[in-house]
Amino acid sequence: MSSLAIDGDIIEELEKEMERCRPWIQAALDRGQNTHLFSDIVDSVKQGHMQFWPAEDACAVTEVCVYPRKKILNIFLAGGNMDTIVDMDESAVMYAKTIGCDGVSVNGRRGWQKVLAKKGYKPFLTNLAKDI
């Protein structure tokens, strides 16, 4: 997968904005499987492997997943005001189309299914996990 590293001139501004959004990012991480630390997300965004979508009262983090037959923009984390997050969908879809994606996927709790249905999202697979 290719990535686009962020210019050093805006790294400080990015770090400040991510720190402002840290409670939302951390809350989403805490609901997950402890796959990432906040610092892992910051590093991945700085390296261009993930994309950061800040808003006044919410934020999201995406990643581009390239499969043999499809390229998908995956909304990996989101937190804050739910209406704001849902409103981000149009921009995320435009971005996905611009970079040649075939679709958008969302990782999240079951509650997102109902909220995002009006945006055309539908259930696809079920993830199951256990600690070993």
The count of C-alpha atoms lying within 13 angstroms of the C-alpha of 46, restricted to the half-sphere facing its C-beta, is 17
For residue 76, give its domain range: 8-117
Confidence (pTM): 0.88
Answer yes or no: is 95 within a domain: yes
Answer yes or no: is 46 within a domain: yes
Answer yes or no: is 85 within a domain: yes
Q: Edge-to-edge strands of the sheet including 50-54?
A: 50-54, 58-66, 71-80, 103-106
Which pLDDT belongs to residue 38? 97
**Total domains present in the chain:** 1
| pLDDT tens for the 132 residues of the chain, in order | 444 556 677 888 999 999 999 999 999 999 988 899 999 999 999 999 999 999 999 999 999 999 999 999 999 999 999 999 999 999 999 999 999 999 999 988 888 899 999 999 999 877 777 778
